[in-house]
Structure formats: structure tokens, C-alpha cells
Structure 1
């Protein structure tokens, strides 16, 4: 798994001009799944993200986690995170999981976050989506399972 984590003041995802997911104060996640990812990968990445200490404490230091600040998550499936651009001009997506497997792992990942007490909103798997966010900091990290 490969997840782009962006600390967000506000974030939303729209499908067919309708907002399907929206959060305030938390993480905007772009979630990539590869064919070898398992439930264990989903659990590992969810735990890592829920406990990342990237929110400021009273001294302005990044000491608080998503759980500490009761932050929310907007999770959007993003197969293009496994696009290989090293050769030619068109990305190769051979490392991206097939939709059936990707959706299963994606749902497991979101459920792992929910089980930790995180409010999770999502986009629509496989749909063409418009994503908006206000990235605070900006803070942007990559979390991978392997």
C-alpha cells in the first residue's frame, strides 16, 4: 500500500457535481493498492496514519496524532499512485491492483481506521472524482506498507 497523507483544514470529494465525502481538521488520504497488498498491510498503514504525530501541540511542535486531535479522514482510492513513469511517456499501471482486490483492501483499510475511532468519509471507488483540500502547513507525507 502507498498512501499520500495531507494534513487538511477542509477537504471534499465530488462525483457528478455532488459532494460524496467531506471533512474538517484531519487528513486527506490518497490510497494506492498493489496486487500483493493484504489485510495486514491495511492494518499496518491504518495504525501508522492514526498515530502519526503531525498536529501541533500548545508549543507549536508536531506532537499530536489524528487520534489526539479527534481528526477526521477523507479517504480516496488512487490507483495512479502505482503508475510507473520511468519508461516512455505513458505511465504503466501494472503494479496497481485489479479493481476487485483493490476495493477489498481499500474497504479493510477504511474499516481499520473506523475501528480506531476515526470518522472516515470516502470518495466513490472507481468513479471520476474532483478532490479539493486546504493543506495546512503544508504537511504532506507518504506512508507505505512495504
Structure 2
């Protein structure tokens, strides 16, 4: 048998020790939590435009309507052109559903790039993961 060859990866480094005492609150984490709560409040309390025709628009109060891919694309494109804010239902890669308040900036190549009010940053969402979209009548900022 041949002698063992050189290692392919360097040896593991020991983990960084945890400092003693209670954790110190992180301003960025606290700020993100406050933004998420405010975005949820905005989505729950702002009046949404009723763009549907007929009895299929009977959704419980506060529930995001399901939209077809064509309706989703049209609504997001219109919001990007007018600079308005929309409320979306979104399923991430792990299958976890969430609701977000976004201001679309660009729609191209199957993705929407938008300012996410929940995360307080610009993010890109695949259109096929958006389950529903509703226009917001007015921005909930006062």
C-alpha cells in the first residue's frame, strides 16, 4: 500500500470562546425586529385596493388573496412603473411562507427587485415564489 498523501484541507481551528455574562443587545437586531413589526402593522392596517371583479374576492380580513402568475406579474410591473407599494405572499426555498410589504424597482428575467420594508433593504425575489399580491391604497406612513 502506498504511504498516506498530504492532507487536502487544513486542520480545524478551535471555536471562539463565548464571553462570560449575558449577551449584549445588538442595535441592528433590535432595529430589524422593529422594522418587521412596523411592516406587519402596515400590511394589516392599510386599506388595500379591490382590483378583482366578482365574488371570488371574498377573502378573510387581513388575508392575502391568491393571484395567478399573470395577475402577479401585471400587478408587480405596474407597481414598479408607478413607484407604489404592494403586499406580497412569499414562499422561500425552505417552503416557509411569509408576507412582505415591498416597493418594486425592477421586474426582469423572472425576478422582482424591490425595497423590502420588512428587512429595510433592497432584495430580489423570484416571481414563481410569490403566491399572491395586493396593491396598497396608500402608504401607511404618516
Which band: TM-score by shorter chain? under 0.3
Larger relative strand fraction: 1
